[in-house]
A and B are shown apart, each in its own frame.
Chain A
Amino acid sequence: MAEALILDSEAVNALARSSQRGVLEDRALAILSLAHDRRALVRVPAPVLAEVRKGPRFDAAVNHLLNDRGITVLELTRKIAQQAGALLTEARMSSVNAVDAFVVASALEFAAALVATGDPKDIRRLATRPPSVSVFSI
């Protein structure tokens, strides 16, 4: 399976509000360009959408990002959800970190993946299983 860039909520926010995010947008654009160069898929795990909904005005920007921009929502499946539960258990983390676990479990669906996140510490704690998941701090 192809490589993938997985966008966590901070990366989605940075790209959706690209005119207002300064440094964050700079790093998000850099990793997006690298993904394009490497022909990687760009995916937003569905649970991330729960974190980026902030009212109609901002939701429009997120929906704009997810329509015909080559950035696709990765649906939450039973396999991913159960994998996320296993990761939380292994890392001794609670369901407070459920969305982070869904993100890492989604990344594990690909042969290799990089997670672009504003929360690299928790993602690294969860991403210990092979195949390795790389982490990029937005």
Chain B
Amino acid sequence: MKQAAIAESQPFLDGRVCRSLWRPLQNAGTLDRRYPRVLSRLPTYSYRGMNQIMTAPAAKLSISLPASLAKAVRKRVGGRGLSGFFAQAAAHELERQQLGAFITELTQLNGPPSKAAVAAARRAWPKR
């Protein structure tokens, strides 16, 4: 009862409070059955933003693309996965173009990266 009261009165639980909830259950050997119930009391709004993309208002667009490409995409993701597929592709390409513009901006400001730094980067990140 005491643990339940703590869980309901604390908007956010730190590690110490979580352990105080969890340990008595572990000691009593009832962890497997009751641990999910303790976790369900944790405030889920601490993860706000996790599903931001999914809950954002959607805009309908009509786009044209080569028939062969459309067929290949439909085959890959099915009819119901099209919006998600194109949203992900658009987000990736937009990020890539923004990153390219930022790199150009930094290069104009400070010059290109040195050959030594580029070589070190390539050594650290070998191609898969």
Contact = CB atoms under 8 A, between A and B. Distances in A.
25 contacts: A18-B106, A19-B110, A29-B110, A29-B112, A30-B117, A32-B99, A33-B103, A34-B125, A36-B96, A36-B99, A36-B100, A38-B125, A39-B96, A41-B92, A42-B99, A69-B99, A69-B101, A70-B96, A70-B102, A77-B47, A77-B50, A95-B15, A112-B128, A136-B121, A137-B124
B97 interface: yes
Interface string A16-53: 00110000011101111111101101100000000000
Interface residues of A, number: 36
A136 B124 contact: yes
A11 to B, nearest CB: 12
B59 interface: no
B120 interface: yes
Contacts of A30: 113-114, 117-118, 120-121
A120 B49 CA distance: 29
B107 interface: yes
Contacts of A59: none
Contact of B103 (A3, A19, A25, A32): A32
Given A36-B103, A70-B97, A136-B120, 17 more contacts: A18-B110, A27-B113, A27-B121, A30-B113, A31-B121, A31-B125, A33-B103, A33-B118, A36-B96, A38-B125, A41-B92, A69-B101, A70-B96, A70-B102, A71-B102, A75-B47, A75-B52
